């Protein structure tokens, strides 16, 4: 079959006529191991259920989330916010009011404001990495409360939000562990339950499974053999050579195993390309970095039946949030892109009739200091997260929005806030909604018992409906 040309950025370098993109090869190699995952035990419980997807939007760099969600209606609270934030404060009249709330949104987030008011968006307030609950700063200062490894470090906190293991450094993510447990719910085992638009990542790496990587700069998203499948002379010769190699018989076990992996990878890629070529969405997306990625996620979800998918987890990364300088100007532009991308994606899910089957959620390694460093902000701890979709209890704020006054019991200095909600609680609720058994939560989130009784029958926070 012929495929339209894909931009050269979609391909990895070729290492001979038998070479294939490392990412695709790695996807398939690891996916073959998934047959041995622990998911069989869960199949009888969940197999045949309705489609569900989780979409993780990782704001890499540390989003200044107390300028994303801040006091609006209460003049006293706003005055505290303005004094603490000084030259980084947003004028009260510019903040977008939220129905029934004393809080408001960044002026660039008009669509998110409307979705909140329509019950399609909620916020998780002052969440962060925690090993156990910390009530006040004196527990940290006297050493009685353990803190996450590498607090304020990009690499450590980014890893911990993806693993939910703040007491250790591990390369296995909580999305990957979910894949290990329930990947066999999907009929198609050639394409991973985990789909990444950000290359190989920790979040989707399991003990037995890994992500299937897409290229957000191509129409089909496929990462494929370099120059394979096109209708020009060299490509046709290369394609024929690869096909001949794949179809040949090999007595050598190593050669046969390698060729079998290449064949499965090629076939999975062709299957994915063909599935997305048949997708048509009426919803319009902008051409910025967020919207392009969310459109590819939407198209992949639209092809779920063709691809044989019952459960999917998507990882979308949008970097550049480390605003030590020009935080107001940078956030104004970047939150605008996030706002547009989320709005189009939600509209696409409604077009597909599955808005209650897809939950989108924010992750960022930490929020920023409430105080200014002169023209920006520095690394902090607890922050605010957004959740979106028709399955959520929308138009609400969950958790305790903290006082933004300096010197409180949970302010460590410089405007760094101790989280009042753990990312374990946040993620465990997403996992339960997705279909993970409560009895498996401690396997995925080793510290969850410090925050939530997994046998309670209740949701950890309450922002999602089962």
Q: How confident is the model at residue 27 (pLDDT cuts 50, 70, 90)?
A: very low
- According to DSSP, residue 187 is labeled S
More reliable by pLDDT, 256 or 451? 451
60 against 42, higher pLDDT: 60
pLDDT tens digits for 445-463?
999 999 999 999 999 999 9
Contact yes or no for 32/292 (Cβ under 8 A):
no
Q: Quick one: pLDDT at residue 233?
A: 54
Q: Tell me: pLDDT of 226 over 50.
A: yes
Asked if the model's pLDDT at residue 231 lies above 70, the reply is no
CA distances from 68 to 6, 244, 367 (A): 37, 56, 10
Helix H or strand E encompassing 192: none
CA angle, 224 then 228 then 231, to 5°: 135
Q: Exposed, middle or buried, 278 (CB in 10 Å: 0-12/13-18/19+)?
A: exposed
**What's the pLDDT band for 218 if we cut at 50, 70, 90?**
confident
Cα–Cα distance measured from residue 31 to residue 179, given in angstroms and rounded to the nearest whole number: 10
pLDDT of residue 372: 97
Q: What is the per-residue pLDDT for 249?
A: 77
Most confident stretch, 2-11, 27-36, 231-240, 448-457: 448-457
CA distance 216 to 10: 8
Judged against a pLDDT cut of 90, whether residue 8 lies above it is answered with no
- Stretch 154-163: mean pLDDT: 98
Beta-strand ranges (E) seen in 129-271 are 194-196, 212-213
Give the residue ranges of DSSP H helices in 53-165: 75-85, 110-117, 137-141, 154-163
In angstroms, the CA 329 to CA 344 distance is 23
**DSSP annotation of 287:** S
CA angle 183, 186, 189 (to 5 degrees): 75
- pLDDT computed for residue 26 by the predictor: 43
CA 189 to chain centre: 22
Computed over every residue of the chain, the mean pLDDT equals 86
Distance CA 306, CA 198 (A): 23
pLDDT at 108: 98
The answer on pLDDT for 201 being more than 70 is yes
What's residue 256's pLDDT? 60
Residue 228 has pLDDT above 60, yes or no: no
DSSP one-letter code for 211: P
CB contact burial 394-425 (16+ within 10 A = b; e otherwise): bbbbbbebbbbeeeeebbbeebbbbbbbbbbb
pLDDT of residue 23: 44
Mean pLDDT of 334-357: 97
Q: What is the pLDDT of residue 259?
A: 58
> Residues 285-301: pLDDT tens digits?
999 999 999 999 999 99
Segment 409-423 mean pLDDT: 97
Burial class (CB in 10 A: 0-12, 13-18, 19+), 282: exposed
């Amino acid at each position: 079959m012929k495929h339209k040309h894909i931009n050269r950025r979609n391909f990895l370098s070729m290492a001979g006529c038998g070479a294939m993109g490392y990412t695709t090869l790695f996807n398939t190699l690891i996916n073959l191991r998934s047959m041995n995952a622990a998911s069989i035990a869960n199949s009888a419980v969940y197999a045949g259920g309705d489609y569900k997807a989780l979409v993780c939007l990782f704001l890499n760099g540390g989003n200044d989330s107390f300028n994303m969600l801040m006091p609006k209606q209460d003049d006293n609270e706003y005055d505290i916010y303005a004094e603490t934030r000084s030259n980084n404060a947003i004028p009260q009249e510019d903040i977008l009011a939220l129905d029934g709330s004393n809080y408001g949104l960044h002026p660039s987030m008009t669509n998110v404001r409307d979705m909140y008011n329509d019950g399609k968006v909620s916020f998780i307030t002052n969440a962060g990495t925690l090993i156990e609950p910390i009530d006040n700063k004196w527990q940290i200062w006297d050493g009685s409360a353990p803190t996450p490894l590498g607090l304020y470090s990009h690499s450590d906190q980014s890893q911990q939000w993806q693993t939910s293991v703040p007491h250790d450094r591990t390369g296995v993510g909580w999305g990957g562990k979910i894949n290990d447990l329930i990947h066999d719910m999907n009929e198609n085992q050639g394409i991973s339950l985990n789909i990444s638009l950000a290359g190989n990542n920790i979040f989707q790496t399991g003990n037995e499974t890994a992500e299937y990587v897409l290229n957000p700069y191509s129409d089909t998203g496929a990462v494929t053999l370099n120059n394979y499948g096109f209708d020009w002379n060299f490509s046709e010769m290369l394609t024929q050579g690869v096909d001949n190699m794949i179809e040949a018989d090999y007595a050598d076990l190593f050669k046969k195993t390698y060729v079998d992996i290449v064949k499965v990878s090629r076939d999975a890629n062709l299957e994915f390309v063909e599935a997305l070529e048949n997708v048509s969405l009426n919803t319009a997306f902008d051409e910025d970095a967020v919207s392009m990625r969310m459109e590819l996620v939407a198209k992949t979800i639209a092809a779920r039946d063709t691809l044989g998918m019952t459960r999917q987890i998507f990882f979308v990364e949008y970097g550049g949030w480390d605003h030590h300088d020009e935080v107001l100007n940078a956030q104004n532009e970047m939150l605008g892109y996030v706002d547009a991308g989320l709005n189009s994606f939600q509209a696409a899910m409604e077009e597909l009739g599955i808005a209650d089957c897809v939950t989108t959620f924010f992750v960022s390694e930490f929020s920023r200091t409430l105080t200014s460093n002169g023209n920006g902000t520095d690394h902090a701890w607890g922050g605010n997260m957004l959740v979106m979709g028709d399955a959520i209890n929308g138009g609400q704020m969950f958790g305790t929005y903290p006082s933004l006054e300096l010197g409180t019991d949970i302010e460590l200095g410089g405007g760094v806030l101790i989280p009042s909600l753990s990312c374990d609680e946040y993620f465990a609720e997403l996992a339960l909604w997705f279909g993970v058994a409560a009895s498996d939560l401690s396997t995925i989130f080793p510290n969850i018992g410090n925050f939530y009784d997994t046998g309670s029958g209740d949701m950890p926070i309450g922002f999602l409906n089962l």
